[in-house]
């Protein structure tokens, strides 16, 4: 068994009348291994440190626990997944400058961002795999398992937004 440290964020679809009662219900519903953050009363983020045999088991059970307490909750994001260079550096214990240097020194080989703009965004799993394979960096297997699982969950979440009658034609474009 490993400990998996991850965050899941949900839209609750309605404003919470009593935040304390809601948090108590989450704890009673199996989320007693999470720090719960409620900023906007329609959104909740839960940072879990959960023991399980795999990241998938840890993350899927956490999502199920939340959905059991709040069946109407919609998953927004599983993290860590989407990261900028500064986020990746922090997760890996590097300086932001070191991450920037890695991208500049390996421009044609560094993973392609999922969003390129003023602040580009990558899937953390792709950066971790690249670092392990191309830079011989020691990457924690548990972190990689979490990042890959979260990437798959977030991709699947996005895929569900595509109308079923156009999924095959859209999939053909993405090769």
Band of residue 108 on the pLDDT scale cut at 50, 70, 90: confident
Alpha carbon distance 85, 138 (integer Å) = 18
Asked whether residue 87 carries a pLDDT value surpassing 90, the answer given is yes
Whole-number pLDDT of residue 14 = 78
Looking at the domain covering 2-79+150-165, what would its CATH class be? alpha beta
| Predicted confidence (pLDDT) per residue in 123-169, tens digit | 999 999 999 998 778 999 999 999 999 999 999 999 988 898 998 89
The strand pairing partners of 47, in sequence order, are 7, 35
What CATH number should be reported for the domain whose range is 82-139? 1.10.10
Asked whether residue 32 carries a pLDDT value surpassing 90, the answer given is yes
DSSP annotation of 65 reads H
Write down the H helix ranges in the chain: 19-26, 55-69, 85-92, 96-105, 124-134, 141-159, 167-173
Band of residue 17 on the pLDDT scale cut at 50, 70, 90: low
Where are the domains positioned within the chain? 2-79+150-165, 82-139
Contacts of 94 (CB under 8 A, 6+ apart): 88
Q: How high does pLDDT run on average in the chain?
A: 93
């Amino acid at each position: 068994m490993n400990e998996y440290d991850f965050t899941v964020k949900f839209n609750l679809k309605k404003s919470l009348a009593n935040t304390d009662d809601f948090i108590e219900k989450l704890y009673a519903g199996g989320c007693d291994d999470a720090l719960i953050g409620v900023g906007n009363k329609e959104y909740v983020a839960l940072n879990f440190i959960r023991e399980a045999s795999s990241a998938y088991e840890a993350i899927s059970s956490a999502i199920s626990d939340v959905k059991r307490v709040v069946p109407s909750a919609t998953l927004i994001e599983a993290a860590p997944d989407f990261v900028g260079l500064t986020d990746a550096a922090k997760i890996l214990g590097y300086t932001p400058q070191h991450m920037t240097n890695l991208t500049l020194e390996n421009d044609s080989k560094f993973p392609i961002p999922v969003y390129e703009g003023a602040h580009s965004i990558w899937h953390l799993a792709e950066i971790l795999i690249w670092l392990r394979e191309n830079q011989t960096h020691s990457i924690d297997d548990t972190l990689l398992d979490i990042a890959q699982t979260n990437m798959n969950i977030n991709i699947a979440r996005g895929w569900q937004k595509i109308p079923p009658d156009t999924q095959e034609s859209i999939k053909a474009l993405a090769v």
